[in-house]
Structure 1
Amino acid sequence: MRKSRKAQTAKNIKSSKFKWLIAIVLATLVLTVGGLALTSNLFTNNASSKELLVLKAEAVSIQHWKVPPKQQSISSAPEKPPGPASGKKVVYLTFDDGPSTHLKQFLEVLEKEKAPASFFFIGNELKNADKETYQRMINSGFVIGLHSYTHNAKKLYRKKDPTFIHEMSRERDDFEKLSGIRTNLIRAPYGSTYLTDKQIKETKQNGFRLVDWNIDSNDWRYGSGNTERIYQNVLSQVNAYEGSNEPLVILFHEHKNTLDALPKVIKMLRDKGYVFQAYHENETLHQNFKKDPNL
C-alpha cells in the first residue's frame, strides 16, 4: 500500500513538472511571437513615418542616376571664334559631296599629316558613314558642314519655290538626330553665286554660316589616273597668291583621285610655309562670293 502511494505521488510530481514545462514553453512561444509582432509593428510604424521616406528618396535618386541624362548635341564651333593664325600663311582644306566610301581614308591621310579640314556632306549620302565616324571627326579637330540634301541645282535655285533653305534646314535637323552633332556651317552646291538676295537673307535668319572658296582644284573634272592634273591645278592657283599672304580656301571633293593627290598637295603647301586650319561656323574669315562680311 505504501509502495502504491509513493508511486502515485511520484507520478503526480512528474506530471506536475511536465505541465509546468509545457506552460513555460508555451509562455516562451507567446512572448517570442508577440515580441516579433511588436517589433515588426514598431519598425513598420517607424519606417512609414521616417525611414521609408528616406529609403524612397534614395530609391528615386538611384533610379535617376541609372537613367542617363539627355545628351547635349556636340558643336564643332569653338567658344572663342577662330581666325587665320596671326603672322602665318593659312590654308583651309575643304571637301564636298561626302560622306563617300573613301571618307575614312581621307581622315587617315589628314590625321597622319596633322592637317585638320572641313567636310560638307550631302543629306542623301549620310548613310555612307555612322555616328562613331562623325564624332571621331569632331574629336580629331575636323569640322562638318552641310551641302544640301539633293545637290540638285534645278531644285535648289529654281525661281518658284526654291528648296535651298528647306534642304539645309532639314539636313541640319536630320544630321543632329543621326550623329548628335549640331552644325550651322553650309556650302551652297556650285557656290553662293546662284543665291538670290532673298535666299541670302533667309540664310542669315536661319542661323547658317556660308563659305565658298578661292581655289578650285577642279578635281571633279578628272577621271581615273589624272591625279597629277589635280596637283598641278592646285599648284598653279597657289602660286598666283604667292606673296599676298591671303588665306586660301581650297575646294576638293571626296574622289579617289583627290585622295591619291592629297599627300603631295599637303607637302607642297607645307613647303611653301602654309599652316592648316579647319574652317568653323564662327570663323572670323568670311570667304564667300557675295563678299558679304555678315554671311
Structure 2
Amino acid sequence: MLAASLAFTAAPATDQRTTIDCARVKCLALTFDDGPGDHTPALLRVLREEGAKATFFLVGKQVERRPSVARQEAEEGHAVGNHTYSHPWLTSLHDNEILEELRTTQALIADATGRRPTMYRPPYGETDERVLGLADQQELAQILWTGTTLDWKLRDAKKIKAAVLRLAERDGVILMHDTVPQTVQAMPEIVRELKKRGYHLVTVPTLMRGKGPKAGVSYF
C-alpha cells in the first residue's frame, strides 16, 4: 500500500486560490482535527451550503474507517493534511516511530483521495526541531494555529460559537475538531456570523497567498 500511495503527486492548490485574494479581502481559516468522524458529513454539508472552505487534519486510523469521507473532503475543495496515524505525543517517540506515523498516514490519505498531503499538524501541538526535521523528510510543512476553541473541553455549542467569534481575526487559523458533535452543531451559526463580519472562509493554502506551505517550515 505504501509504495503505491507514494506514487501520487502532492495535492495541488485548490481552485479557491484563483478566486479569492487574501491580500485584498479579509480571510480566515477554520481547521478541524482528528477526523474524519461520524459527524464530518454533516459538517461538510454545512460548508457546502454556505460556500465555505476548511482544512482537515486527518488521523490515519480514522481514514481507514472512513476513506469515502476523506475523499469527499478533497473532492469538495477542502484542504487535507496529515495528523499522524494514532495521534501520539510525537516528541516522546523515536525517529523511526515518528516517520512511521507520518508515512502510514500519507499513504492512507493518498489512497483515499489521490493526493499526498503537503501539510501536517502535530497532535496536541507538541513539536520541536527534531519532529519538524523528520516532517521535512516527508515533504511536509507544519501547521499550527493562531487560536484554539478548546471545543473538546467545552462541549457546548453556544460556548464554542463564542470562542470562534472571539478568536476570529484576519489571516487567523482557528483549531476545532469535527469529532466534537457540539462543534458541528454550532457551525451553521458560526459560518453565517463570520460571513456577516466580512470574513472569507478559506483553506490554509489559500490563506498563504501562494507563499506556502513549504516543507520543513512551521506556520502560525
TM interval, shorter chain, is 0.7 to 0.9
Mapped contact 1:222–1:230 kept (Cα < 8 A): yes
The letter of the residue matching 1:232 is A
RMSD: 3.0
- Equivalent residue number for residue 96 of structure 1: 33
- Equivalent residue number for residue 4 of structure 2: none
Mapped contact 2:98–2:134 kept (Cα < 8 A): no
Q: Quote the sequence identity (%).
A: 24
- Equivalent residue number for residue 13 of structure 2: 78
Q: Structure 2 length normalisation: TM-score? A: 0.81
Residue number among 53, 61, 65 corresponding to 1:116 in the alignment: 53
Residue number among 146, 149, 156 corresponding to 1:217 in the alignment: 149
The letter of the residue matching 1:277 is V
**Greater relative contact order (CA < 8 Å, ≥ 6 in sequence):** 2
Mapped contact 1:89–1:274 kept (Cα < 8 A): yes
Could you tell me how far 1:139 is from its partner in structure 2? 2.6
SS in 2 for 1:182: coil
The letter of the residue matching 1:180 is G
Cα 1:271–1:258, aligned 2, differ >3 Å: closer, same or farther?
same
Mapped contact 2:31–2:174 kept (Cα < 8 A): yes
**Greater C-alpha Rg:** 1
Mapped contact 2:63–2:108 kept (Cα < 8 A): no
Measured against aligned partners, the alpha-carbon deviations of 1:48-95 in whole angstroms (never above 9, x if no partner) come to: xxxxxxxxxxxxxxxxxxxxxxxx747542289958522211011111
How many Å separate the matches in 2 of 1:285 and 1:212? 16
Cα 1:227–1:162, aligned 2, differ >3 Å: closer, same or farther?
farther
How many Å separate the matches in 2 of 1:80 and 1:207? 22
How many Å separate the matches in 1 of 2:21 and 2:142? 17
How many Å separate the matches in 1 of 2:163 and 2:207? 29
Q: How many aligned residue pairs are there?
A: 208
Residue 234 in structure 1 maps to residue 164 in structure 2: yes
Mapped contact 2:106–2:117 kept (Cα < 8 A): yes
Cα 1:222–1:189, aligned 2, differ >3 Å: closer, same or farther?
same
How many Å separate the matches in 2 of 1:168 and 1:99? 17
Mapped contact 1:217–1:234 kept (Cα < 8 A): yes
How many Å separate the matches in 1 of 2:128 and 2:50? 39
Gaps of 5+ in 1: 1-71
Mapped contact 1:77–1:281 kept (Cα < 8 A): no
Gaps of 5+ in 2: 1-6
Could you tell me how far 1:195 is from its partner in structure 2? 2.0
Could you tell me how far 1:161 is from its partner in structure 2? 4.6
Cα 1:162–1:73, aligned 2, differ >3 Å: closer, same or farther?
closer
